[in-house]
Amino acid sequence: MITTLLFDLDDTLLGNNMETFLPGYFGQLAQYFGLGKAEGKRLEGAVYHGTHAMVANMDPARALLGVFYDAFYPAVGWEPAAYIRRFDDFYRTCFPTLQPLTQTRPAARAVMKWAFKAGYQVVIATSPLFPLRAIQERLRWAGVADFPYALITSMETSHFTKPHPEYFAEVLARVGARPAEALVVGNDWEADLTPAAKLGLPHFWVAAHDSVPTANGAHPVGIGPLESFLEWAPAHLPALSAPALPAPALPALLTGNLAEAAGLLADLPEAVWCRRPELGEWSLVEIVCHLRDVEQEVNLPRLRAVAENDNPFLSGVDTDPWAVERCYETQAGPLALKEFVETRRQTYTLLAGLPEPAWSRPARHALLGNTTLAELVSWMLDHDRIHLAQLRTTRQKAIQ
């Protein structure tokens, strides 16, 4: 059942041709910083350098803003401390003047009114190459800035961009949705539809009715302008069945979960890590130590055993007592997170390199009986979801 709608922004909710918009954007940047033609070109090149670094980033523990800073500031020769606030002022005062380069789509507001009234969880799933302020401003131009979105992806908090399927995997992790529960609505075949298809996400193509699909695996559930989506959705969404989850999507989903965990735990004070929400409940450090040790000592060894052996026997393991036996509460949270990230990367490397037939490799689980490699990873995803929800709740209570 579809519960969550993921809307692209540019040329989906807002008419925004980047071939027109970007020259205006760079012109405003150069004017704001008082740059001549040569210096303006240097600034433009540095922005593109930082953007390419963000698109290339596959580190689930690095938010895109830091990736951009590390590439942009050395390329332009500026000190971050002197310019970060000035960029924020640019987006507050000058960026809004670019609105005339875009076109409002009246159907956008009608779509949002319908989606929220119908009870859907709504995400603005724009490629997070701009700061949140700039994305919120473009939502204002589109006439849809005043809705209570579950998430607006931006460079401050996202770890991946389109067209990586990990981008959508992280979105799903952040809003607590499974691929079968979400629909992607976007105009770009390569950036929106292709990665959605790789994750088993159903997708609606915002395009002219006579548009010709590209033969690369995406199969839209509908095609048409935004007005057509508004006509199609009420009749078709309630009964829409998602495609079967493709097994090769599983590593990306694991990585999306990891990115969500890393984002939730980034830059926390030491005291927050150890604070228990209630007597007998785990603290953040205990949750992360649990995730790390299960990944290191249960999940990864099991996956290797199935990948490398014929129908291996997998013993059951009771991991909950480890919290007391291994004194999780006394361990360092940031180090435990770093070790969990590293082990999950090993898991990803193992799984992402497998040929598709390998996902059907059998195993015998001591408690759950006959299973397969794909099913084992699906159980890992379920385990992740339980503890991601626990991390969100515990973090919220710990920082109050």
List the chain domain ranges: 4-14+102-239, 17-100, 247-398
Helix or strand run (H / E) with residue 206: strand 203-206
Q: Read off the pLDDT band of 378 (50, 70, 90).
A: very high
If one counts every other C-beta atom within 10 angstroms of the C-beta of residue 140, the result is 14
Average pLDDT over residues 143-168: 98
Tokens of 365: 């689980």
Q: Could you give the C-alpha distances from 29 to 72, 74, 86, 135, 318, in angstroms and in order?
A: 14, 18, 11, 16, 57
Residue 292's Cβ-side half-sphere holds a number of Cα atoms within 13 Å equal to 23
Give pLDDT, residue 209.
87
* Residues paired with 182 in a beta bridge: 4
pLDDT score for 215: 66
Model confidence at 28: pLDDT above 80: yes
Digit-coded pLDDT (tens) for 332-364: 999 999 999 999 999 999 999 899 999 999 999
**Phi, psi (deg, nearest 5) at residue 46:** -70, -40
362 bridge partner residues: 372
What pLDDT score was predicted for residue 59? 97
Length of the chain as a residue count: 400
In 3D space, the residue among 345, 366, 10, 373 whose CA is nearest the CA of residue 188 turns out to be: 10
Check residue 353 and give its pLDDT: 87
4-14+102-239 classified as CATH 3.40.50.1000: yes
Which pair of tokens denotes residue 198?
């790789």
Whether residue 210 has pLDDT greater than 90: no
Q: Which residues contact 284 (CB under 8 A, 6 or more apart)?
A: 265, 268, 272, 273, 274, 275, 333, 391, 394, 395, 398
- Quick check: 290 and 345 in contact, CB under 8 A? no
Q: For residue 211, is pLDDT > 90?
A: no
What is the Cα–Cα distance from 327 to 85, expressed in whole angstroms? 43
pLDDT at 75: 96
What mean pLDDT, rounded, does the chain reach? Answer: 95
Over its C-alpha atoms, the chain yields an Rg (Å, rounded) of: 23
Task: Name residue, tokens 């996400």.
Answer: 201
Q: List the structure tokens of 248.
A: 């090769």
Residue 279: what pLDDT?
86
Token couple for 67: 């990736």
pLDDT tens digits, one per residue of 220-244 = 999 999 999 999 999 999 999 888 8
* Cα–Cα distance, 222 to 205 (Å, whole number): 6
| CATH fold label, 247-398 | Four Helix Bundle (Hemerythrin (Met), subunit A) (1.20.120)
pLDDT value at residue 280:
87
Q: What is the mean pLDDT of residues 296-325?
A: 96
